[in-house]
Chains A and B, each alone.
Chain A
Amino acid sequence: MPDYQTAVAYILALLEPRNRSGRPLTEATDLVADIGLSSLQVMELIERLEDHFDLSIPLNLLPDIATIGDLAAKLRDL
């Protein structure tokens, strides 16, 4: 499993092209409220993370994930 900082860095790299908020993305950035990802886009992000880190992220974890930091922590703990 990736360590936390590795996960954060990769998530930031994936999301930066979608960032139209005018503010820099951080661990505290909310995937939906700040970036405006749709449910479909969230699932596409999850799939890219799963492929990159060769792991499977259970859907059960998604309700607990709001921010980039939340997501990175889940990846670390899998």
Chain B
Amino acid sequence: MLLDKFAPMAQIRAELAAAGIRPFGAVTERLISATEAVVEGRTVILAGTNNYLGLSFDPRCIADAQEAAARWGTGTTGSRMANGTFAEHLALEAELADLYGLPHAMVFTTGFSATQGLCATLAGPGDVILLDADSHASIYSGAQLSGAEVLRFKHNDPADLEKRLRRLGERAADTLIVVEGIYSMLGDTAPLAEIAAVKREYGGFLMVDEAHSLGVLGEQGRGAADAAGVADAVDFFVGTFSKSLGAIGGFCASPHAALEAVRFSTRAYIFTASASPSVVASTRAALAIMRAEPQLQRRLWANAERLYAGLRDLGLQVGPQPGPVVAVLLDDRDTALAAWQRLLDAGIYVNLVVPPASPTGASLLRCSLSAAHSDAQIGRIIAAFADPVAGAAGAL
């Protein structure tokens, strides 16, 4: 039967419902600020929203979105290839190109469609996509769609990348190497200086997904490649507007003139309506703030380092390094589930991630930080973890 394969998932959902726990798709009933909301009937500190710079409630972004909605209407109702290219879209593309000092940029309606669409289009039959094993699902999905040969290298392991490029011989030159700046589950940063050195030695094209590093690393928030000093080795910067920029959408910036032809070859770009004008306007405002206010990045990192150290000092197993994402790893799924619920009851919302969505066999209580978190809020998050989670972890 067509639908039989969904029975195990339906069973898990039924068990969670019976237990009164809704970790996946928890309902936000009211948003109080960038860092506080009412979720599932509880007033909570939001510690799992990827709102790294806290700009989703910035009055300048809201005002520009409101003005754009009044001026341009609520939606474009069409593709960028047809009626959906407004002056706002072109302005945002010009500003992204300027951010990277590159001649070409294109904007997608979502971040998922940017990475999936570009991976699916840039490489084709006869080419090779060589991706980091911990890559986002959109990258895997695009690679699968591409028709290219898909290889993966060990997560954040430039020596393994080098080994695989060596095995490819002359085909290395036709290889699209795909990495992320910061990885979304454990918050670890890619060793981009080493990866760029390998790419320079063997050839190929390097795509860096800055989804979780835009606004978080680098001068003016350009991301991980800029922070590592290897922006000139990157062929395709991709990223999203749904994290540091507080909206939704995706982009690519590139030194290659071919990007303008890629634009008209990418189904995920062509066969969907373009981003709503209000979204583009708030993104433009947030981008300007990100570039002009480096104190937001400093504040985010101060919060990230404090939370990472606080959770580690509780004896919890955390990811390999501090970052805007701080994940607590628990071996047992049911323990993680119970801890997630106790955190919610204690007024802290985090993300629960269970295999196979997590990069290891562990379950994760995934926190993401914001520049908008106050010192008191970080203290409350750590205190909440101290009791239910540390207690549960200690009992394992």
Spell out A's residues near B (CB within 8 Å).
Answer: 38-40, 43, 47, 54-60
Contact = CB atoms under 8 A, between A and B. Distances in A.
A57 B355 CA distance: 23
A58 B151 contact: yes
Contacts of A39: 356
B154 interface: yes
Interface residues of B, number: 16
A54 B168 CA distance: 11
B232 to A, nearest CB: 28
B80 to A, nearest CB: 31
A38 B133 contact: no
A55 B167 contact: yes
Given A38-B355, A58-B150, 10 more contacts: A38-B361, A39-B356, A40-B355, A40-B360, A55-B167, A56-B151, A56-B164, A59-B143, A59-B144, A60-B150
Nearest to B167: A56
Interface string B345-377: 000000000011000110000000000000000
Contacts of B152: 59
Nearest to A63: B144
Contacts of A59: 143-144, 150-152
18 contacts: A38-B356, A39-B356, A40-B361, A43-B133, A54-B163, A54-B167, A55-B167, A56-B151, A56-B164, A56-B167, A56-B168, A58-B150, A58-B151, A59-B143, A59-B151, A59-B152, A60-B149, A60-B150
Q: Which 4 A-B pairs have the closest CB atoms?
A: A59-B150, A58-B149, A56-B151, A56-B164
Interface in B127-152: 133, 143-144, 149-152
Interface in B99-152: 133, 143-144, 149-152
Contacts of A38: 355-356, 361
Contacts of B168: 56
A70 to B, nearest CB: 18
A16 B133 CA distance: 25
Contacts of B133: 43
A23 B144 CA distance: 36
Nearest to B360: A40
Nearest to A62: B150
Contacts of A40: 355-356, 360-361
B316 to A, nearest CB: 22
A47 B163 CA distance: 12
A39 B360 CA distance: 11
Nearest to A44: B361
B76 to A, nearest CB: 36
